[in-house]
Chains A and B, each alone.
Chain A
Amino acid sequence: AQSVAQPEDQVNVAEGNPLTVKCTYSVSGNPYLFWYVQYPNRGLQFLLKYITGDNLVKGSYGFEAEFNKSQTSFHLKKPSALVSDSALYFCAVRDGSNQGGKLIFGQGTELSVKP
């Protein structure tokens, strides 16, 4: 069965410091991996995805993520955090063989960036 784990409920970072939000996954086939961000009282917004190719994926707002097949991880990173990055972040996985494009989401990580 597919699953996604985000081991940290909350990550606290000082503005200007690098940030990492962790994600590990389990799928039976080739993984399609996504990161979404949710600001308060809003829907989810797409940040970036890994389908195939280069293990380092760059996305919106300066975020990037590294796909590591041996560690089954897809950690979200940003070199220099902004206060405006404070939000709830979700990792999601899709098994490439499943029909309907269904995603399995992690439980979410609350990122707090302090000035």
Chain B
Amino acid sequence: NAGVTQTPKFRVLKTGQSMTLLCAQDMNHEYMYWYRQDPGMGLRLIHYSVGEGTTAKGEVPDGYNVSRLKKQNFLLGLESAAPSQTSVYFCASSYERVGSIQYFGAGTRLSVL
């Protein structure tokens, strides 16, 4: 089992460029999440999805969009990257059941110059 796979692992963007981060899970999980990790701030939820075709805003959604066209995939888009979006991005997924564990990908390190 691959678990949760994120692509790419690293990316450098110039201010104003766009990109899409891909998250794929093979555990048939209903829920999927995108977080960003910044030093001293823990993980903050950007957007999440409770099922195919549904998305919702998390704690820090501004500047990001998401889509979940297929149950196994959750895409995070940056339409016009800003230096403040330099961060490490993590995708996670979980079952719907109460108390379910979230499983994390290895992360994408993004630098916006």
CB within 8 Å of B: which residues of A? 4, 9, 32, 34, 36, 41-46, 49, 51, 90, 96, 99-103, 105-108
What is the distance, in angstroms, from B35's C-beta to the closest C-beta of chain A? 8
Q: How many A-B residue pairs have CB under 8 A?
A: 58
Q: What is the bound-complex CA distance between A94 and B78, given in angstroms?
A: 28
B101 & A42 in contact (Cβ 8 Å cutoff) = no
CA of A87 to CA of B104, assembled, Å: 16
Q: Which of B4, B48, B99, B103 touches A100 (beta carbons < 8 Å)?
A: B48
- Nearest-Cβ distance from residue B66 to partner chain A, whole angstroms: 13
| B31 at interface by CB-CB < 8 Å | yes
With A100-B56, A101-B31 in contact, is A49–B101 under 8 Å at CB?
A: yes
Contacts A43-B107, A45-B104, A46-B103 hold; do A102 and B58 have CB atoms under 8 A apart? yes
Q: Bits for B18-59, please: 1 = Cβ < 8 Å to A, else 0.
A: 000000000000010101000011111100101000001010
In angstroms, Cα B40 to Cα A105, docked, is: 11
Name the residue of chain A whose CB is nearest to the CB of B40.
Answer: A107
